[in-house]
Amino acid sequence: MVKICCIGAGYVGGPTMAVIALKCPKIEVVVVDISVSRITAWNSDQLPIYEPGLEDVVKECRGRNLFFSTDVEKHVAEADIVFVSVNTPTKTTGLGAGKAADLTYWESAARMIADVSKSDKIVVEKSTVPVKTAEAIEKILTHNSKGIKYQILSNPEFLAEGTAIQDLFNPDRVLIGGRETPEGLKAVQSLKEVYAQWVPEDQILTTNLWSAELSKLAANAFLAQRISSVNAMSALCEATGADVTEVAYAVGKDTRIGSKFLNASVGFGGSCFQKDILNLVYICECNGLPEVAEYWKQVIKVNDYQKTRFVNRVVASMFNTVSNKKIAVLGFAFKKDTGDTRETPAIDVCKGLLGDKARLSIYDPQVTEDQIQRDLTMKKFDWDHPIHLQPTSPTTVKQVSVVWDAYEATKDAHAVCILTEWDEFKKLDYKRIFDNMQKPAFVFDGRNIVNADELRQIGFIVYSIGKPLDPWLKDMPAVA
Ligand code: NAD
Ligand code: UGA
């Protein structure tokens, strides 16, 4: 029986390994982590992450050929294939701070593999890493090898949160990079055989190591770039009376462009787009390519501009002040169907409104009060470190209350900001909400999910990203 061990039981390690265990009943899969609370949760009925379909997969395999453990060293020592799926945050201090990837967790995982291994192993980079990381890992392993042979593979993950299980069941492609030596090719083949249990062979791409590592950064950069492109257009639409949904539809009809990932929004969030682009920018700079670095940096700048623009719209529309006004925030997660708040645009928008002294009443169906308070008090980039290393925040933001119902959040509010596209926000009784709000009552739709005409009929003043402006908003221009 082949034994797989995955270091890192996070958003990637957990679901990915659960699907491998489901599809390959003859493989024993153990997911290990230094976080005791995470492993305890994986072994309980309350999984540590919310992901549609995940619970069913875990329930079917856990205890059969899928195990979660904190005994990292034992399971790494026993494994034939070791996946490394630890976090790779942006560095906060020292060389490359604010841009370069912090490979502390990766390096300590690699050193631990070297320490405990007693048999040859295939080590698979699952985390998103800078190009050439495999070379660094190889050096750590071979300099401490005690005669053990290692093959390093790059097998980046392309799943998106909220659809992780579907993405893993039917991936657009699986990418495996390896050394072009007989041993390297053999290792690639071994990993290919795992995925071939359920993925058609022509969708399993094999490349050299550096192409696989770079393809992951490139794919995220291209995806984020599409959002910044449509968001940049949304500003121009508001200025000209064009409708960004119509423009995106017309543009996306061109088969060379395609229709997906063209939804204008308050900005993209999530743990990876910003981190991976900053990392790409840093790699370009280190390779003497400042123009290329500048090009990709612009994707982040437009995303920041979009969040600032949204806050300015809110404040400008409400007589240029939100001081002491109650603003209901609907949605805090970075997208629907996840409880993940990492780099969610809601953090910057809420901080912007708090900077103007607003009182916020926040409701998200999947995010806890504790998480929201931590997010609003934490410094940039600190979130991507294990919880025990995160600075504790003894203070809470007093102007923020977190409630468990959209109607409670909007009661007596002056404005509603929709920051996550949860389906339930489309179905709310907006007449009831309007009746219980201060007047004039505003809706700022950062996800373009409400029917603005219907809400205007009720009496709301409505702002939708990239749509023709309400006459009220035209009279109160926001300076970005
Ligand atoms: P995560 O923070 O949810 O999980 C990482 C886990 O690794 C944590 O539980 C942490 O405790 C553990 N860990 C860190 N060092 C360890 C060590 N030495 N030994 C054992 N455990 C250790 O992160 P994630 O979202 O799963 O992302 C992991 C990687 O995958 C990142 O590089 C990310 O860029 C990439 N990625 C993420 C996604 C996503 O949707 N979240 C998608 C594709 C790729
Ligand atoms: C993204 C990629 O889609 C995955 O392929 C990749 O594996 C992953 O990053 C990663 O490396 O972590 P994820 O961040 O989970 O996945 O979610 P997305 O669906 O890509 O959404 C990212 C952000 O963009 C969200 O805030 C979402 O609301 C926003 N978005 C997305 C838009 O504003 N408009 C769109 O048209 C699409």
pLDDT surpassing 50 at residue 165: yes
**Domain segments of the chain as ranges:** 3-199, 242-464
What mean pLDDT do residues 180-203 have?
Answer: 97
Express each pLDDT in 309-342 by its tens digit: 999 999 999 999 999 999 999 999 999 989 999 9
Q: Are the CB atoms for 144 and 176 separated by under 8 Å? A: no
Distances (CA, A) of 286 to 103, 145, 222, 297, 365: 16, 30, 21, 14, 43
Per residue in 81-113, pLDDT (tens digit) is 999 999 988 898 899 999 998 899 999 999 999
Q: How confident is the model at residue 381 (pLDDT cuts 50, 70, 90)?
A: confident
Q: Where are the alpha helices (DSSP H) in 144-271?
A: 164-169, 182-195, 209-240, 244-252
Q: For domain 3-199, give the CATH number.
A: 3.40.50.720
Cis bond leading into 15, ω under 30°?
no
pLDDT of residue 391: 52
**pLDDT of res. 472:** 86
Measured in residues, the chain has a length of 480
Atom of ligand 1 nearest to the CA of 126: 30
Q: Which residue owns the Cα nearest ligand 2 atom 14?
A: 270
* Residue 395 pLDDT exceeds 90: no
List all residues 6 or more positions away from 104 whose beta carbon is below 8 Å from its beta carbon.
Answer: none
388 pLDDT tier (thresholds 50, 70, 90): very low
> Ligand 1 pocket: which of 11, 40, 115, 125 to mutate (most atoms <8 Å of CB)?
11
| One-letter amino acid for residue 263 of the chain | N
Average pLDDT value for residue range 209-213: 96
Query: From start to end of 42-166, where are the E strands?
Result: 66-69, 81-84, 121-125, 150-154
Q: What is the pLDDT of residue 164?
A: 96
What gap in Å lies between CA 121 and CA 46, rounded to an integer?
A: 33
Q: If residue 326 lies in a helix (H) or strand (E), which one and from where to where?
A: strand 326-330
Query: Identical fold at 3-199 and 242-464?
Result: yes
User: What's residue 389's pLDDT?
Assistant: 52
Is residue 6 within a helix (H) or strand (E), and if so which, with residue range?
A: strand 3-7
What's the whole-number mean pLDDT along residues 349-364? 97
Q: What is the mean pLDDT of the chain?
A: 94
Nearest-atom number in ligand 2 for the CA of 227 is: 34
Evaluate if residue 171 carries a pLDDT over 50. Answer: yes
Of 147, 156, 31, 24, the residue nearest 82 (C-alpha): 31
Q: Please state, in angstroms and rounded to a whole number, the distance separating the CA atoms of residues 239 and 206.
A: 47
- pLDDT tens for each residue of 218-242: 999 999 999 999 999 999 999 999 9
In this predicted structure, what is the pLDDT of residue 261? 97
The β-bridge partners of 464 are: 445
102, 92 Cβ separation under 8 angstroms: yes
The residue-averaged pLDDT of 243-258 equals: 98
CA 271–ligand 1 middle distance (angstroms): 10
Q: Flag the least confident range among 65-74, 331-340, 373-382.
A: 373-382
Whether residue 122 is predicted with pLDDT greater than 70 in this model: the reply is yes
Distance 288 CA to ligand 2 centre (A): 29
The tens digit of pLDDT for each residue in 412-439 reads: 999 999 999 999 999 999 999 999 999 9
Q: Rounded mean pLDDT of 455-463?
A: 97
Of 276, 269, 272, 294, which Cα lies nearest the Cα of 284? 294
14-23, 204-213, 308-317, 385-394: range with lowest mean pLDDT: 385-394
Q: Tell how far the Cα of 84 is from the centroid of ligand 1, in angstroms.
A: 8
Q: Which pLDDT value is given to residue 143?
A: 87
Binding site membership of 161 for ligand 2 (Cβ less than 6 Å): yes
Q: Single out the residue of 145, 109, 134 nearest to residue 7, CA to CA.
A: 109
For range 292-300, the mean pLDDT: 98
Helix (H, G, I), strand (E, B) or coil at 78: helix
For residue 383, pLDDT over 80 is answered with no
Q: What is the CATH superfamily name and number for domain 242-464?
A: NAD(P)-binding Rossmann-like Domain (3.40.50.720)
Q: For 148, left (φ over 0), alpha (ψ -120 to 50), or beta? A: beta
Give the residue ranges of the annotated binding site: 8-13, 33, 38, 86-90, 127-128, 161, 272-275, 342
**Quick one: which ligand is closest to 307's CA?**
2
Output the CA 224–ligand 2 centroid distance in Å: 8
Position 42 pLDDT exceeds 60: yes
